Chains A and B, each alone.
Chain A
Amino acid sequence: MPAVGLARRNLCQILSVTALGGMSVLAWFGLLHVLRHGPIHYTFGGWTPPLGIEWVMDPLSSIIVFLIAIISLVVSIHSIPGIKKQFKSSSIPFFILTLLLVSGLAGMTFAGDLFNLFVFLEVASLSGYALVASGEGRALLAAFRYLLMGTVGTSFYLLGVGFLYAVTGTLNMSDLAVRLPLLFQSKAAILGMVFIVTGLAVKMGLFPMHGWLPDSYTYAPDSVSAIMAPIVTKIPVYALIRILFWATGAGSGSDKWQLVNYLGWLGVFGAIGGSMLAFKQINFKKMLAYSSISQIGLIVIGVSIGNSAALCGSILHIINHAFMKSCLFVIAGTVFYSRGIKNILEFARLRHEMPLTLTALVITAISMIGIPPTCGFFSKWYLIAGAFEAKKYVFGSAVIVSSFFTAAYFFRVLEKTFFGSATASANMEHGIASKTGELPFPMLFGVSFFAAVVVILGLFSGRIVSFFVRPALPF
């Protein structure tokens, strides 16, 4: 890539989009293959699992990888017009780092052993820090904060892996699944799990370890935050699901750990606290960042409940929320690119100028609130159903209450946009020299693609659940 970049700067973009496109196609066929013929195990260099490194492609990991691929593909298509404006001369590192990030995340997803997961976690994290730092102004500070907390998180994770290795003598997940249940009383195993979960919780921005998240998403360049926000926090959640339900079996059944129940409470505080904080923000991207914290809380609630409905809700919400958040961040990017607006209060100006973008905004907002028939409703439905089934009424009500708060902050935006006072917007008009006219095609494509997906995922939710999500459940 750097070589190509030196020769022709524009080629980089094409190369990166082609790579992601190819990845999406492969991931899609991989997913279909896995659903039809069962999981694929790949061992590096022919070394068999206990010694060698194993990659596993089962229904869950292939769904997640497809998710990563398609979202990063569409986001990078969307950011084609904006790249030059955001990065000026340094666009080549952006492409390299993005691809590195994507492959790191995909590696985390496929990893069949805990240490390999750590390696890819570091790959993804390091490229994430660098990407955030490529922004202007306070981005550097935000990136440094992200770096500090992220490193603490990964260290915790590594420490935990060390403990588990010391106790069980293996790192491979399927081996752990056999050996660990015998050692559940061992203090070292418990401590190891606590460390692993804490480390992942930092990486996913779970309350109260979310401190790094809002600033990094807000000050990162728009194309960066649009790629990072939907997937970077989801993959640690995926890793958590993988470890709790596959590698250790600590997530459900008779072996369910108390630790997992506590995790749910963090989810509750995150879900409600995050949306309350989101309500106070006037920067659109910052609001979305807090909203991410709240949604991660919801997913963790589902993981903590751990029955089939709730876990189905969590996985569905990982998918749905990834698309919703990318749509929202893509909208934020579009609005900033074409009108220079970051502030919610100025959105009123867009009313007559960008009808398509605003339609997408309305659809996604409705979906975030969880109004049927958009996709957000259905993941919440499963989460609530799972909670009630497990008789965890507090968790179920927390999901409902948090969607109520979500409604509060999204309607605040919609109200400002559609019914905001015309005088306020007239004043703004003089401040920024705005470009008028149609959006460039790639941006239009990105926005409408995600908005359409949000609706389609909702309408066909029944099929998606029975065809993709159900086979991915561990039960």
Chain B
Amino acid sequence: METIKSIRPLLCVILPLLTIPLIVFSRRRKNIREFWTLSASVTSFLVVSSMLPDIFAGNILQSSSFNLIPGISLELKADSLGLTFALVASFLWIITTIYSIGYMRRLQEKSQSRYFAAFAVCVSSTIGIAFASNLLTFLVFYEILTIVTYPLVVHKENKEAMAAGRKYLVFTLSGGAFLLAAVVLTWIITGSLDFKPGGFMGGLVSEGTVRIIFILFILGLGVKSAIMPLHFWLPSAMVAPVPVSALLHAVAVVKAGVFGILRIIYYVFGADALSNAGVLKFLAYEAVITILVASFIALKQDNLKRRLAYSTISQLSYIILGAAMHSPLALTGSILHLMNHAFMKITLFFCAGAVYVNTHKEKISEMDGIGRVMPWTMGAFACASLGMIGLPLSCGFISKFHLAWGSIEAGEIIYLFVYLASGILNAAYFLPIVYRSFFVGTSIHERYSEAGLTMRLPLLITAAFTVLFGVIVPAINSQLNLVDLTKKLLFP
């Protein structure tokens, strides 16, 4: 394994930021403005994927810059885990941009320039989080992400949105405060902040201290990853425009929290030190509770976006549980689910948005027969739902299979049952929607039509990916290979 100096990780973070002045300058000309966003997203995806061969060759790309505090610099490092997350985020940014254009224009939303600018910063900081090579850099991007998501959450500027925005800030900023305390403590105690496979804290710190710092970290990162009871902001934040909920509240922001937890467990403490201190089990139980409770709450939601939000909360804890099991297979499943869930959930949100734009319906009870007027949209929805349930031939199956297998490997049969039970609950809250939209109701919806191309195309692409990663063997394998790199690194 070799560390190569390269500007590419830094480039991926800077590229989206460069669009901001361009967006601001061309705010009067919509098409040019959107062209900037689109080209930035495509370029940054290309740059991110250009690093793949190096990563597969077993190298790490690193770009450092100046010192933030003496001894610790703002440093970006593309390793296999970080690249996985960055790939997902930057690819889905392209798709979401196309979708946003359709969505925002159709609804004639105001302040679109602010929207696209904030979006670009969000993606930039998400990639920054993925590539951060030490805790301080991570913290910097994590906090930026917190702040720039705020204008997106309150985009509608009505009372409800403002209330949701405040709630969002209270939760995420207090999370940030805990995270800051944890990072400072880590620095004081170990004198180091650099992520290292297997952790750098093992042996340096007593078990009691490990417990305290880990709990501080979980309180900090748990807000974004919506571990119960820190999840309250997420359902309220669904007042944001649909593309925001889709990319940020299903992929970037929440996954940043989960990704942080992965980093903390495997690159800061080391899973051994954590399981010796007994806190890993605590995290696992916390995740189990979240999975089950959130699924039950999701059953009762009539607002489609809120149901999806609770489903997100439950699925995020899948990933956390997989990470907390301390088994190689479960870790594989966990990282796979980080990718697959992103594709599935973004499809579901895109569909919800398409339905909203065309019919102004948000409630599930009003969606009878909608599948017959919007067959493509609801077909994609059905496809992604089946993935969420974890049926074979869907990408959800592959990741859940690894997670379940991992729980057997870890000798924890309870977790296996939790995954199975949650699959059934998923079926219970997703299938009725599919059923209603296709088989219930008469032709009352004839005045509505299928979504426009800019919205239909993105959701079909992501839906296609959910199938691709579940059926096509080369696709599954390439995904697995990437994850294997991380697994081999952490479980040599």
Give A contacts to B, CB under 8 Å. 366, 369, 371-373, 377-378, 381-382, 384-385, 388-389, 396-397, 400-401, 403-404, 407, 411, 415, 418-419, 459-463, 465-466, 470
CB contact under 8 A between A400 and B69, given known A371-B143, A389-B188, A415-B165 = no
8 A Cβ contacts from B158-211 to A: 161-162, 165-166, 169, 173-174, 177, 180-181, 184-185, 187-188
Could you tell me if B144 and A396 are in contact, using CB atoms closer than 8 angstroms? no
Q: Which residues of the other chain, A, contact B67 by a CB distance below 8 angstroms?
A: 462-463, 466
- Nearest CB of B to A471, in Å: 12
Contact sample, A vs B, 10 pairs, CB 8 Å cutoff: A371-B146, A378-B68, A381-B69, A396-B181, A401-B177, A407-B173, A415-B166, A419-B161, A419-B162, A462-B68
Known interface pairs A372-B140, A372-B144; A462-B70 also in contact (CB < 8 Å)? yes
Q: Which of B144, B166, B181 contacts A371 (CB 8 A)?
A: B144
Is B409 among interface residues, defined by CB-CB distance under 8 A? no
B130-150 interface with A by 8 A CB criterion: 139-140, 143-144, 146-147, 150
Asked if residues B143 and A400 are in contact (CB atoms below 8 Å), the reply is no
Q: A369: nearest residue on chain B (CB-CB)? A: B173
- For A465, the chain B residues whose CB sits under 8 A away are 69-70
Residues of chain A within 8 A (CB-CB) of B150 are 411
Q: Closest CB-CB distance, A409 to chain B, in whole Å?
A: 12
Complex: how many Å from CA A216 to CA B188?
41
Contact, CB under 8 Å: A407 / B169: yes
Would you call A461 and B143 a contact (CB within 8 A)?
no
Contact for A366 among B147, B151, B181, B184, CB less than 8 A: B147
Closest chain-B Cβ to A463's Cβ sits at a distance in Å of: 6
Sort A-B residue pairs by CB-CB distance and give the 6 closest, nearest first. A462-B67, A372-B140, A466-B70, A400-B177, A419-B157, A384-B184
Chain A hits for B73, CB < 8 A: 462
- Residue pair B70, A371 in contact (C-beta under 8 Å): no
What's the least CB distance linking B24 to chain A, in Å? 9
Chain A residue contacts of B12, Cβ below 8 A: none
Q: Which residues of A contact B157 (CB under 8 A)?
A: 419
Besides A377-B143, A388-B185, A397-B181, 5 other A-B contacts (C-beta < 8 A): A372-B140, A373-B144, A384-B184, A419-B157, A462-B69
User: B62-79 toward A: CB 8 Å interface, digit per residue (1/0)?
Assistant: 000011111011100000
B139 pairs with A372, CB closer than 8 A: yes
User: For residue A397, which residues in chain B have a CB less than 8 angstroms away from its CB?
Assistant: 181
Which residues of chain A are within 8 angstroms of B69 by Cβ–Cβ distance?
A: 378, 381-382, 461-462, 465
Interface residues in B, total, Cβ within 8 A = 32
Say what secondary structure dominates the interface of chain B: helix
B432 nearest CB across to chain A (Å): 37
Closest to A459 in B: B66
Interface: B154 (CB within 8 A): yes
Distance (Å) between the CB of B157 and the closest chain A CB?
Answer: 5
Q: Is the CB of A415 within 8 A of B68?
A: no
How many Å from the CB of B143 to the closest CB on chain A?
5
Asked whether A385 and B188 contact (CB < 8 A) given A419-B157, A462-B73, the answer is yes
* A469–chain B nearest beta-carbon distance, Å: 10
Residue numbers in B under 8 Å from A470 (CB-CB): 70
In the complex, the answer to whether B184 meets A381 with C-beta atoms within 8 Å is yes
Known: A397-B181, A462-B73, A466-B67. A404 touches B174 (CB 8 A): yes
Q: How far is the CA of A418 from the CA of B118 in the complex (A)?
A: 14
Closest chain-A Cβ to B112's Cβ sits at a distance in Å of: 15
Rounded to whole angstroms, the CA-CA distance of A460 and B66 in the bound complex is 7
Q: Which residues of B contact A400 (CB under 8 A)?
A: 177, 180-181
List A contacts of B74 (CB < 8 A).
373
Cα distance A404–B170 in the bound complex, in angstroms: 9
- Give, as a whole number of angstroms, the nearest-CB distance from A186 to chain B: 37
Contacts of B184 in A (CB 8 A): 381, 384-385, 388, 396
A388 and B188 contact, CB distance less than 8 A: yes
Please, which residues of chain B bring their CB within 8 A of the CB of A401? 177
Bound Cα distance A407, B54 (Å): 42
Give the Cβ gap from B336 to chain A, nearest Cβ, in Å. 32
Interface residues of B in 273-300 (CB under 8 A from A): none
A385 lies within 8 A of B187 (CB): yes
Contact A373 B140 (CB under 8 A): yes
Cross-chain contact of B177 among A378, A388, A404, A459 (Cβ < 8 A): A404
The answer on a CB contact under 8 Å between A463 and B66 is yes
Taken together as a complex, chains A and B put the C-alpha atoms of A378 and B66 apart, in Å, by: 14
Provide the residues of chain A in CB contact with B165, threshold 8 Å.
415, 419
- Measured between beta carbons, the chain B residues less than 8 angstroms from A389 are 188
**A113 vs B146: C-alpha distance when bound (angstroms):** 49
**Nearest-Cβ distance from residue A20 to partner chain B, whole angstroms:** 31
B180:A384 contact, CB within 8 angstroms: yes
A396 contacts across to B, CB distance below 8 A = 181, 184
Output the nearest chain A residue to B178 by Cβ-Cβ distance.
A400
B residues less than 8 Å from A382 (CB atoms): 69
Cβ of A156 to closest chain B Cβ, rounded Å: 36
Distance (whole angstroms) from the CB of A426 to the closest CB of chain B: 15
- Considering residues B66, B69, B72, which has the most beta carbons from chain A within 10 angstroms of its beta carbon? B69
Using Cβ atoms and an 8 Å threshold, which residues of chain A touch B68? 372-373, 378, 461-462
B-side contacts of A461, CB under 8 Å: 68-69
For residue B140, which residues in chain A have a CB less than 8 angstroms away from its CB? 372-373, 377
Bound-complex Cα distance A382 to B144 (A): 19
Provide the bound-state CA to CA distance between A372 and B180, in Å.
Answer: 11
Collect the chain B residues with CB atoms within 8 Å of residue A388's CB: 181, 184-185, 188
Task: Please determine whether B154 and A403 come into contact, CB atoms closer than 8 angstroms.
Answer: no
Q: Contact at B181–A384, with CB atoms within 8 Å? A: yes
Residue of B nearest to A412 (CB): B166
Complex Cα distance, B162 from A121, in Å, reads 47
Task: Give, as a whole number of angstroms, the nearest-CB distance from B122 to chain A.
Answer: 14
Closest-CB distance, B213 to chain A (whole angstroms): 11
Which residues on the B side are within 8 Å of A460 (C-beta)? 66
Closest residue of B by beta carbon distance from A391 = B188
| Chain A residues with CB below 8 A from B143, complex form | 371-372, 377
Q: Using CB atoms, name the residue of chain B closest to A385.
A: B184
**Least Cβ–Cβ distance between A52 and chain B, in angstroms:** 39
Q: B161 to chain A: which residues have CB within 8 Å?
A: 419
Residue of B162, B174, B177 touching A415 (CB-CB under 8 A): B162
Contact with A along B333-354 (1 / 0, CB 8 A): 0000000000000000000000
Minimum CB–CB distance for A458 against chain B, Å: 9
In the bound complex, residues from chain A placing their C-beta under 8 Å from that of B66 are: 459-460, 462-463
Chain A residues whose CB sits within 8 angstroms of the CB of B151 once the complex forms: 418
A229 CB to nearest B CB, Å: 25
Residue of B with least CB distance to A407: B173
Q: Tell me the smallest distance from the CB of A404 to a CB of chain B, in Å.
A: 6
How far, in Å, is B236 (CB) from chain A's closest CB? Answer: 16
Residues in chain B near residue A462, CB distance under 8 A? 66-70, 72-73
Q: CA of A401 to CA of B188 in the docked complex: distance in angstroms? A: 20
CB distance from A415 to the nearest CB of B (A): 7
| Interface pair B169/A419, CB less than 8 Å apart | no
Interface mask (B38-76 → A, CB under 8 Å = 1, otherwise 0): 000000000000000000000000000011111011100
Chain B positions 414 through 436: 1 when the CB is less than 8 Å from some CB of chain A, otherwise 0: 00000000000000000000000
B308-348 residues at the A interface, CB under 8 angstroms:
none
Least Cβ–Cβ distance between A352 and chain B, in angstroms: 10
- Alpha-carbon distance A366/B140, docked complex (angstroms): 13
Chain B residue numbers with a CB within 8 Å of A403 are 177
- Which partner residue on chain A sits nearest B111 by CB separation? A418
CA distance A262 to B139 in the complex (A): 32
CA distance A88 to B173 in the complex (A): 46
Closest Cβ neighbor of A403 among chain B residues: B177
A386 to B174, alpha carbons, bound, how many Å? 21
A302 CA / B185 CA spacing, docked (Å): 17
- Cβ-closest chain B residue relative to A420: B157
| Chain A, Cβ-Cβ closest to B173 | A407
B144 contact set on A, CB distance < 8 A: 371-373
B181 and chain A: residue at smallest CB distance? A400
> Complex: how many Å from CA A418 to CA B68?
31
The smallest beta-carbon distance between B327 and chain A, in angstroms, is 34
Q: Which residue of A381, A459, A461 has the most chain B CB atoms within 10 A of its CB atom?
A: A381
